[in-house]
Amino acid sequence: MTGWRTHSGKAVALPVEGIDTDQLIPARFMSRPRSAGYGDYLLHDMRRDAEGRPDPDFPLNRPEAEGASIIVARRNFGGGSSREAAVYALKDAGVRVIAAPSFGDIFAGNAINNGLLPAQLATEDAEALIATLTEKGPQEARVDLDAGTLALGALRCSFALSDAEREKLANGWDDIDLTRRHHEAIAAHRAALAAARPWLWPAKARE
């Protein structure tokens, strides 16, 4: 995965509260391997009618939203299940940034691990962006991880990002490599645990 520090792209408003992981990707698509690409399943049942025809009025289906990489939504985005496929669907559809007042914790962690920024904004800022994007239609915006800002026209919104999260996004780090540098600490922890609480290994219990 390649990292990034700044991103410029088209922002689109999705003024909905509580877009949960079951909306982001309905369960029935998750048995498919990732290699097939999950972009077409993104918000599948919100974007389409029962016959699978796209709803022309849905914000992401409008022609001017084509190629949008920044989505601005309302509170509790990505609440619900741990399915990382929700992030895959966004990524595979070309999305790099979700800006919203709050996120499901597991979703936010999964997003960072896949190079997708969950930018947590003040509610007023999210509403201001939504108002502008609703009035004028999708607009170019610029996200700067180091400054912690999302800028769109005259609007400049701040989001909080921990150092660890910023580094992961910027470096496209794979945690497994990072963690293996701590292998001595892990081995020491394990050894102490095995000495103090050997019963924690269930193989030593009866079956």
Binding site for another protein (CB under 8 A): 15-18, 20, 22-23, 26-28, 30-34, 45-46, 50, 74-76, 79-85, 87, 102-106, 109-110, 113-114, 127, 162-164, 167, 175-176, 179-180, 182, 185-186, 189-190, 193, 197-207
Least distance to another protein, CB of residue 136, Å = 20
Closer of 10 and 100 to another protein (Cβ) = 100
- Cβ burial of 46 (10 Å; 0-12, 13-18, 19+) is middle
Least distance to another protein, CB of residue 68, Å = 22
Least distance to another protein, CB of residue 133, Å = 15
Instruction: Specify whether the CB–CB gap between 119 and 143 falls below 8 A.
Output: yes
Q: With the CA atoms of 82, 86, 92 and 93 taken in that order, what torsion angle do they form, in degrees rounded to the nearest 10?
A: -160
Least distance to another protein, CB of residue 93, Å = 18
Instruction: Specify whether the CB–CB gap between 103 and 78 falls below 8 A.
Output: yes
Q: What would the two tokens of residue 7 be? A: 């991103």
Closer of 154 and 203 to another protein (Cβ) = 203
Largest CA distance in the chain: 67
Closer of 68 and 100 to another protein (Cβ) = 100
Closer of 9 and 84 to another protein (Cβ) = 84
Closer of 108 and 143 to another protein (Cβ) = 108
Q: Please identify which residue in the block is written with the tokens 């016959």.
A: 51
C-alpha to C-alpha distance for 94 and 92, rounded to whole angstroms? 5
